[in-house]
Amino acid sequence: MLTYPLELIHCEHGCAVKTTVGKDTFFERNERRITKSMRIYLLLALLTLSFVRSYAQQLVDLCATPAAQSGFTIVGPSVGCTPFEVKVEKTVGENYTYVYDYKGGTIPQSIARGDTTKATTFKYAKPGTYKILQYGSNGAGAITCKTVEVLPPPNYTAKACSNRKIQVTIADDSTTKRYESFTIDWGDGKENVSKAGIYTHSYNSATNVATVFVTGSFGGQSLGCSISVAPIVLNSTDLSTTSIRKVTLNNDGSVAVLIKAPVGTTTAVQVSQNNGTFTGLPGQITLTRDTATITIKDVNALKDTYCFRLNTNDGCANNAALTSNVVCATPLEVKAENRQNVAAWKEYPNAADFQSYRITRNLVSLGGASVRTNTTQTDANVTCGEQYCYQVTVRLAGGAESVSPSVCVKAISTEFPSVVQNAFVTVEDEGKINIFATPPASGATPAKFKTIFFRTENGSGDFKEIASLDNALSYVDNAVNSNQQSYCYRIAYENSCGNRSQPSEPLCSIYLSSKSGSTVDWTPETPFLVPVNRYQLEILDEQGNPYDQVPVGVNTSYSPNVSDQQLFRYRILGFAQGGGGNSYSNYYVFKKNALLFIPDAFSPNGDNVNDIFAPKGQFVDKSRMIVYNRWGQVLFETSNALEGWDGTINGQPAVEGTYVFRIEITDSLGANFVKTGTVLLAR
């Protein structure tokens, strides 16, 4: 394959490619010998050359060679901060055009990008270094360039400090280092500083809010720009007001520390163990409110003595940190002993701050002590089985407090209740038996107890438990028939610790009955836990109204003497010796049958002696009488048998002889009965 040297010919309006061999051109002598592959090679060469020329044009920096004659000047400084406005003024020539952010390249490229303008002012919105390019017609197509430096505002922060101070921190960063010096406008005066750093300014009492600006200087001239900051409310409080208000010891040994400090105060907790040196705990907080609670978990203040204080600053570097008051945690132990609870705590370490102890039970104060060495409290006013929670608060100088955990125990007792000594039973109107008791003389727990009732029948056999009631001293026994027999009971008392008394002596209901047709009788067993002092018989009429009361002493039988009533209700009222109550028996009804006398003969002869056949009776309410002859024919009938038969039939005297009668009676109690027989009529 033949090779040929190439020559690239640069021309104003394009390029041609020639090959030479000696003195003659190759195309002229052997054009047909150029192969197809050579044409492709030549085309690639032409494209490469075009790309190189284009890239070379882009790399052109028209500002690299200073103009021999300046075509414009910048009115004012050429260094400023955002937003920075520049103004240019031509010095020679006419028809100038400007590129305010020239980045290199040919004029046609700037025109194509739209960077050109005839305006003589321009505002830079972002920091940076910019080139201003001027070009136009001054007889020679002059080009002039100048450089503008746009800086960002100084980077700084401003914050309120205690004691009516504001601290400004000018950051020592790449932005700030581009300035030569700074001016701090405090609002009530200005301060010039030469470098980045922390600066503090105090305000008088007439100023409550201040706005602070920091501007930078360059070339001996302030650029005047500053970041936008919100007005700052001055903090008039003193760091010395920061204090621990309360230390609360939790049941897991951790401690909650309540602090009070001005908003914005930065504080850290320091701790001393067993009167050792105070050391700082990791971390600190900045208060967004005037109070905050910090929980210290990595301690066991139930075992060792821990005291706490605060190391406080307001976050301003030029204000010295202060230490607060010291408050120590107070552990508490409570033991349940027989019928009393005993609370004990450690003596508060700092005698200078101590004022008093305050002890509460279930959040209610039990009082306290002003003697620091008095570290126990005995609570004997407890009910066995009940839970009580105790807490001790140490009151300190300045209103600070140290609060122990709330420790709860259940009260205990080894004492058994005494036997119930005061009780009685009585029969209610409905026939139920009601048992009443009072607490035993010792071992009772009024807030919580049980009363256990036992029963036997007729005072014989074993007593069986029939009821166990919570916090009740009376019981109504419905499962009895007090109109048939007496029932005996015993009572036991169980206090809140589960200690049960012995059962009481038996006490029995009074059962009233009649052992004969003429007496009422009642059982002699006492319904009290003491003997019966006396009995009284109560009599009620047929309508249930009190009729009479008859004292009967200690007798257990009585013979009523009542002739004008068919029915009476009785009950016995017993009185205990010593006035220990009274007890009623069941009701007993004492009833007489209706009385009826019927003559067996009468003589209706007009002598007014035995002229009428009529029955006579007592307790008769209604009556009817029918008279028959021997063949069963009705001869006479009346709806009032007591009026009788006068011995006539249809107004005519009946013949002598024997007649049959039927008398139907309803007594005053509503009972019905019939009497039949014969009567002799004799004239």
- pLDDT tens digits, one per residue of 67-104: 555 688 999 888 888 888 999 998 877 778 899 999 88
- Tracing tokens 């003997």 back to the chain, one arrives at 531
What tokens appear for 59 in the block?
């790399």
Q: What is the rounded CA–CA span in Å between residue 665 and residue 673?
A: 5
What tokens appear for 61 in the block?
């920096």
Residues 130 and 150 sit within 8 Å (Cβ to Cβ): yes
What tokens appear for 466 in the block?
């029939």
Q: Which CATH superfamily is domain 72-151 in?
A: Immunoglobulins (2.60.40.10)
* 166 strand-pairing partners: 160, 201
Q: Closest Cα to residue 34, out of 75, 4, 76?
A: 4
- pLDDT tens digits, one per residue of 250-293: 999 999 999 998 787 888 999 999 999 999 988 888 888 889 99
Q: What is the largest CA-CA distance in the chain?
A: 209
pLDDT value, residue 317 = 76
Q: What is the rounded CA–CA span in Å between residue 12 and residue 4?
A: 25
pLDDT exceeding 90 applies to what percent of the chain? 56
Which CATH class for the 332-410 domain? Answer: mainly beta
CATH code that applies to domain 415-592: 2.60.40.10
pLDDT value, residue 15 = 38
pLDDT exceeding 70 applies to what percent of the chain? 88
pTM above 0.75, yes or no: no
Residues 271 and 299 sit within 8 Å (Cβ to Cβ): yes
The length of the chain is 683
User: What residues of the chain score a pLDDT lower than 70?
Assistant: 1-59, 65-70, 137-141, 458-460, 517, 542, 562-565
Which CATH class for the 239-328 domain? Answer: mainly beta
Delimit the domains of the chain by residue range.
Answer: 6-58, 72-151, 156-233, 239-328, 332-410, 415-592, 595-681
pLDDT value, residue 7 = 34
pLDDT value, residue 22 = 42
pLDDT value, residue 19 = 38
Residue 263 CB neighbours (<10 A): 14
User: 597: which residues sit within 8 A by CB, 6+ positions away?
Assistant: 615, 616, 617
Q: What letter would DSSP give residue 404?
A: -
pLDDT value, residue 44 = 62
- The pairing of strands 546-553 and 557-558 is unpaired
Which CATH class for the 156-233 domain? Answer: mainly beta
Q: What is the rounded CA–CA span in Å between residue 211 and residue 17?
A: 75
- pLDDT tens digits, one per residue of 157-205: 998 888 889 999 999 998 888 898 999 999 999 999 999 999 999 999 8
Residue 494 CB neighbours (<10 A): 20
Decide which of 3.40.50.300, 3.40.190.150, 2.60.40.1220, 3.40.50.970 is the CATH code for 595-681: 2.60.40.1220
- pLDDT tens digits, one per residue of 442-484: 988 888 899 999 999 766 678 999 999 999 999 999 999 999 9
- Tracing tokens 């080894």 back to the chain, one arrives at 414
